[in-house]
Amino acid sequence: MAIRRGRGVAAINYPTGMNLGGDPTQALVHSTPTGNFMVTLSSVDLGQGMKQIMAQICAETIGVPTDRVIVDTADTDTGPHCMGTFASRGTHRAGNAVIQAAKEARQVMLEVAAEELEVNASDLETDGQGNILVKGAPQKSISIFDVALSAHFKRGRSISGRGMFLIPRSYPEKETGAMKPSTCYAHACTVAEVEVDDETGEVTVLTVKNVFEIGRALNPKMVEQQLVGGSWMGISHALYETTEPYYPSRDHGGTDFNQYLMPGPGDLAETEIIVLERPSADGPFGAKGPGEMCANPQIPAVANAVFDAVGVRIDTLPITPERILRALKAQAAG
C-alpha cells in the first residue's frame, strides 16, 4: 500500500451564448440632469460582476469616468428584453447592447454640446474626465454636467440611446446537420497533480495550473478572482459535491447544506492562473464569456490524474474514495 502521485491534463473550448432565436439582449442608456448615466438592463448580476463591467463598457463608450455610470438591472417586466444570465453570455451579449445604446446617447450629448459651443458635433471629443473638448482647441470646452443641464432645461433633448445585440442565426445543413451554434468560443487547459492513497482511496489535489483564453479581460482583477474561484469549484465538483451518492436510492443523501460536502480552505490546492487574450471580433472590446468555462477543465484533469496515479478510470462524479477502492478491487480481481 502506498501514496501514489499522478498528473492529468484536460483541454476544452466553450461557446459564448447560444443560437436560439439570435440570442438577443437589449439595453437602454440615458443621462440624468446632472450628467450621470443610467444603464437599464434585464440581465441580472449573479455575483460575477456584471454591473461593474457594464458600467465600464458604458463609460468607455461615452467617454466619462466609470463612477458616473449607474447600472439598473430592474426586472423582466420593467426592463428591456434579455434572454437571461446564463450560457456565459452576459458580458458578450449585454456588453454589445450597452455599446450600441451608449453610442446613440453619446451622439445626442455631442449634438447638444455642439449647440452650446457653436461648433459641429464631429469636431468634438471627450477627455474621459467629464468634459467635452473641441479637437485641436482643448481650451474651448464644456462639462458634461453643463451639457446635461442644457439638454434637460434649455434644449429639450433626451440624452439617451437604445441598443440591441442579435447574432446571425445558424440553421443546420440538411445533408450533414452541421451548424454554427456560437460566434465565438473561449478556451482552457488545466494540468492537475494529485496524490492518491491506494489503501484508503483518498485523493489530495496538490497543484492545479490553468490557462484560460477569454478574448479580452475587461477587468483583469475580477477575471482573476472568477477564474481562481471557478478552479476551486471544479475541484469540488470532481471530488466532493453530490446530493445523491447512491442515486436513485436516498441512502446517505444530504438533507441540507450542513450535510452537503464541499472542500474547506485546507482542502484547496495550490492554484495558478494564466490568462491569454485573443480578442473576439464580435465581442465588446474583444471580450468573450469565461463564466461557466472556468469550472470545467479541472474535472477531467483530476480524473485523468487519478488514472495516472493508480491506473483506474472513474467515470462517475464525484470521484470518492469508495469508488476508487471499488475500481481497484475490480482491477485486482480481473
Residues annotated catalytic, as ranges = 292
Are residues 135 and 129 in contact, defined by beta-carbon separation less than 8 angstroms? Answer: no
Nearest to 317 by CA among 208, 231, 239, 200: 239
Q: What is the 3-state secondary structure (H, E, C) of 69-102?
A: EEEECCCCCCCCCECCCCCCCHHHHHHHHHHHHH
CB atoms inside a 10 Å sphere around CB 174: 6
What is the Cα 205 distance to its own chain's centre?
26
Strand partners, 29: 39, 161
Q: Which three three-digit cell numbers place residue 116?
A: 452650446
Strand partners, 40: 28, 72
- Relative orientation angle of helices 298-310 and 220-239, to the nearest 10 degrees: 50
Distance CA 310, CA 5 (A): 8
Residues 6+ apart with CB under 8 A from 214: 186, 223, 275, 276, 277, 287, 288, 289, 290
Type of residue numbered 195: E
